[in-house]
Amino acid sequence: MTPGPRAPRPLIAALVAVATVASCDRDARQIRSEFQALFDEPPAVTIVPCPDDAQPAGQSAQCLLGDGSDRSEQTATRANEYLGKAEALLAGGDAAGGWQQALDALALYARPRPFAVGYFVNAGRALDRVRDLLARFPAPPATTERLRAAAAAAFMPRRDFCAGLKLQMLLDAYRVFNHALAPLRPRVTERWGNAIADAPGTDRGDMALWRATRAFYDPLLDGCNHPSAPLLLALEHDTRAQLSAFPEGSPAKRRAELSLQRLRDYGDTTGAFLVFFIDIARLTELAAGKPADAATLTKLVLVPSLPVPLQSPWDGGMPVLQDMPGAAGGVIVTRGELQRTLAPPAAPRR
């Protein structure tokens, strides 16, 4: 049987190229359609662009740069400077000046925005330093109340934390799939500003990477936002299995791993806030000559009006306070994996 005439090689190549372009266009439309649906789905989180040369101060410290990164480390450095000055002033006998410096440090973290997860984590570390100062330099009741209010203002509710995870996913996707999402630039500019909308793409993600991204983030975000508020430990465990869909060593996989780390960070930081509120109540009671045993603090602090959730969002543990054996005024705080020993404060120097 005589074979029919073959199509010229240039024609075959042209047909393959046309089919490839058509497939790429189809993939780009699908990526764009799915991204837009996620972009429009509540909550719609706006951001604050970082000014070019301003030092972190007040809420202006919570901002994002054009590449989607933040200034949380610069803000932490500024907070540590405040706290270092606070320690020096308190040691020198200037209580008013010292505690004002501590309040200025906490003010950097006030009213955390959903995109400010890194700032929130650093706020927990700042609270640990403030607790150390309180243990060494007893503060008057009016000051401890101001510190307590500043800590309450720095707490990030879970709904905002989850919104921040979604925002980070969308910011990363906009850069990786920029070639497909360019038609959405006006809407991105309106919500996120020119710096992010005009930032160059970091990669040219394909449909396989988009599917891997959705397979990882869809269950993560659905679980984080679910009304039943599932434990972040279980959510982290279940979502981690989806990491294998990302290319090994790829930037996309590293960003996904960071999102999982944020679950742990949020759980740990809520624990730091819980310990702060327990400790500041303990130190206030001791300074007033009142009982500060575990039973008293449990009734005084572990109440529904506490600014942080009693149950750990990480592992579901509930706080338990125990008296420190052989150390009056010392308390051991346990909540799931969290355990902190709050030693009796040293006697004031005369």
Q: 43: cis peptide before it, omega within 30°?
A: yes
- For residue 320, the surrounding DSSP H or E stretch is strand 320-323
The residues, ordered by sequence, that sit 6+ positions from 71 with a Cβ below 8 Å of its Cβ are 50, 56, 61, 63, 65
Which three-class secondary structure string do you get for 97-144? HHHHHHHHHHHCCCCCCCCCHHHHHHHHHHHHHHHHHHHHCCCCHHHH
Tens digit of each residue's pLDDT (9 = 90 or more) over 34-70:
999 999 998 888 888 887 665 655 556 788 887 778 8
User: What are the tokens at 228?
Assistant: 């039943």
User: What are the tokens at 164?
Assistant: 């921040």
Residues of the chain where predicted confidence (pLDDT) is lower than 70:
1-24, 52-60, 201-203, 347-350
Q: Regarding beta strands 338-342 and 320-323, do their DSSP bridges make them parallel or antiparallel, or are they unpaired? A: unpaired
For the purposes of burial, counting CB atoms within 10 Å of the CB of 146, is it exposed (0-12), middle (13-18) or buried (19 or more)?
A: middle
C-beta of residue 239 within 8 angstroms of C-beta of residue 219:
yes
State residue 4's pLDDT score: 56
CA pair distance 214, 242, nearest whole angstrom: 10
State residue 312's pLDDT score: 96
C-beta of residue 292 within 8 angstroms of C-beta of residue 253:
no
Tens digit of each residue's pLDDT (9 = 90 or more) over 258-298:
999 999 999 999 999 999 999 999 999 998 999 999 999 99
Residue pointed to by tokens 């979502």: 239
CA pair distance 195, 49, nearest whole angstrom: 8
